[in-house]
Structure 1
Amino acid sequence: MLATFVIGLREGLEAALVVGIVSAFLVQRGRRRSLRLVWTGVLLAAALCLGAAAALQAAARQLPQRQQEQLETVLALVAVAMVTWMIVWVARHARTLRSELEGAASAALARGSAWALVAMAFLAVLREGLETSVFLLATYQASARDADGAIGASLGIAAAVVLGWLLYRGGVRLDLARLFRATGVVLVLVAAGLVVSAVHTAYEAGWLLAGRQQVLDLSALVTPGTVRAAVLQGVLGWQPRPTLAEVTGWLLYAVPVLALVLWPRRTHPAAPRAVSA
């Protein structure tokens, strides 16, 4: 549940920031009528994402077992690639994300049309929604309890909506850089767990033959039915008896990406002004 909660919160908050900033600019410029278009675009994008997720899930269930394992492997790897790109991009832009969005919204409105802002909101929700759908679908397939995952994702998205509304109303100010760094750490661990899941399903699909030997015995930590096992398996992707390929994949992904997220960002001082003689 924790993993899907963070996914829903992180992705939902990015979309909520765009929608909130667009809505605030329209209100400030006296374009309240255009808010209906913005929310129509948001609802349409959300519906498209739900439809795409449902279609992908239905198609996966109709496949033979071996092809299901192959699809799960591909989905897990695609989800890892998408979340890695998002983590890297946000790590570079977290401190200036809000000002960049406000600048883009201001420039769009300065051109005299609110349609560009409507498109910004629609594409933001569509992009984040599709990323969330793929990531959650891969996470569900790696988990034994879909209900908990769905509840966690719903709570995360609801929290993101509330935070987005509070930011829009000016009732709260968040340090987005710290928030995105904290959620980024959890997402890296979740993605590393998906790497382990991809290795496991690649075994079942017949795509991976090497590295099947057991190298660790974590059964004392990952005891089935315990809260600790739910956290270690559901968030970190640890298995009771991981193989060489699973441990290698987890380490090769988690260590460098965690270092990227946690590495201190340098703030570049403004260039000194030239002093005229």
Structure 2
Amino acid sequence: MMGQFVITLREGFEAVLLVAILVAYLRRSGRAGEIKFAYYGALGAIVAGAIIAAGVLKIYGGLQGDGKELFEGLAAYLAVAVLTYMIIWMTGKDVKRDIESRAEKKFAWGIALIAFIFVVREVIETVLFLTPFAAQNAVETATGATLGIATSLALSIAILRFEYRLSLRKFFYVTGVLLAFIASGLLGYGTHELIEVAEESGYESWLFEKAYDLGIDATNLLHHKGAVGSIFAVLFGYSASMEYLRVFLQFGYLGLTLLLITRKFRASGT
């Protein structure tokens, strides 16, 4: 549930913040009459996102056996790819300046389009990120997502209404690092599912063998499916056992992504 919470907190906060900055800019620049178009665009994005989510769930619900494992593995890989792009793109970015430059010469339905693009991107990303989690536990995913959205709305309102001083640059850096761990776990999970599909199809490789096994029973709280271990599994990609291929990809990805995030963050501060 924690991973789902962090993802929706980050994505929800980003979506609300982007629209709020756009609205504030329109109000300050004497274009208050165009604010409604920003809301139209945001609402349209939410509707589009809901349709996409329903489509993904329908496709997944109709799959069985190897088809489900293949879908879960590929969905995890797709989520990691988009998540990585989003993390690196947002790290160190001057969000406020970027939005104002886009809105400077746009009017009416152009503003609606800007808001739509801002929000629909976050909604689609959220759907992609949550799909692998939903495949494992739909209830926890729904709960974590709901709490994340509620918290992101409260945080955004607090920042905008009471003008709390929060460095957006540092916020996106810290959450980016945390999301890098979550993404590495998703990559590991997806790799595990694809390994199972490959083995069931008759493929064999030493890379599919266990690199380690902690010997923790599935009923143990510290197992990656246990009450305690599952939290670390989602947040840090922890698993009681891993195949060689999973170890190489998961930890190689984590090291490289953390290096890129840190370098970009430091470069943006100069």
TM-score (norm 2): 0.87
C-alpha distance in 2, partners of 1:193/1:224?
Answer: 11
- SS of equivalent to 2:266: coil
Larger radius of gyration: 1
Q: Is structure 2 residue 178 aligned with structure 1 residue 186?
A: yes
Deviations 1:185-214 (A, max 9, x none): 111111111111111111232276431211
Residue 133 (structure 1) aligned to one of 116, 124, 127: 127
Of stretches 212-221 and 186-195 in structure 1, the one that deviates more from structure 2 is 212-221
Residue 105 (structure 2) aligned to one of 97, 103, 108: 108
Residues 170, 24 of structure 1: alpha-carbon distance in 2 compared, 3 angstrom cutoff: farther
Q: Is structure 2 residue 162 aligned with structure 1 residue 162?
A: no
C-alpha deviation, 1:175, in angstroms: 0.6
- Partner residue of 1:265? 266
Contact 1:26–1:32 (CA<8 Å) still a contact in 2?
A: yes
Q: Is structure 2 residue 244 aligned with structure 1 residue 250?
A: no
C-alpha deviation, 1:131, in angstroms: 0.7
- Partner residue of 2:138? 146
Matched residue pairs, number?
Answer: 261
Contact 2:41–2:114 (CA<8 Å) still a contact in 1?
A: no
- Partner residue of 2:116? 122
C-alpha distance in 2, partners of 1:223/1:187?
Answer: 22
C-alpha distance in 2, partners of 1:74/1:225?
Answer: 21
Residues 168, 232 of structure 1: alpha-carbon distance in 2 compared, 3 angstrom cutoff: closer
TM-score (norm 1): 0.85
C-alpha distance in 1, partners of 2:97/2:7?
Answer: 24
Q: Is structure 2 residue 223 aligned with structure 1 residue 223?
A: yes
C-alpha distance in 2, partners of 1:250/1:134?
Answer: 19
Residues 27, 166 of structure 1: alpha-carbon distance in 2 compared, 3 angstrom cutoff: farther
C-alpha deviation, 1:219, in angstroms: 4.2
Greater than 6 Å deviation, 4+ residue runs: none
Contact 1:3–1:186 (CA<8 Å) still a contact in 2?
A: no
**AA aligned opposite 2:129:** F
C-alpha distance in 1, partners of 2:133/2:224?
Answer: 18
Contact 1:108–1:116 (CA<8 Å) still a contact in 2?
A: no
Aligned Cα root-mean-square deviation (Å): 2.3
C-alpha distance in 2, partners of 1:167/1:52?
Answer: 30
Contact 1:76–1:194 (CA<8 Å) still a contact in 2?
A: yes
Deviations 1:56-92 (A, max 9, x none): 111111123111211112111110100010111112x
- SS of equivalent to 2:242: coil
- Where does structure 1 lack aligned partners over 5 or more consecutive residues? 270-277
C-alpha deviation, 1:226, in angstroms: 4.6
- Partner residue of 1:22? 22
- Partner residue of 1:213? 209
**AA aligned opposite 2:127:** S
C-alpha distance in 2, partners of 1:41/1:100?
Answer: 18
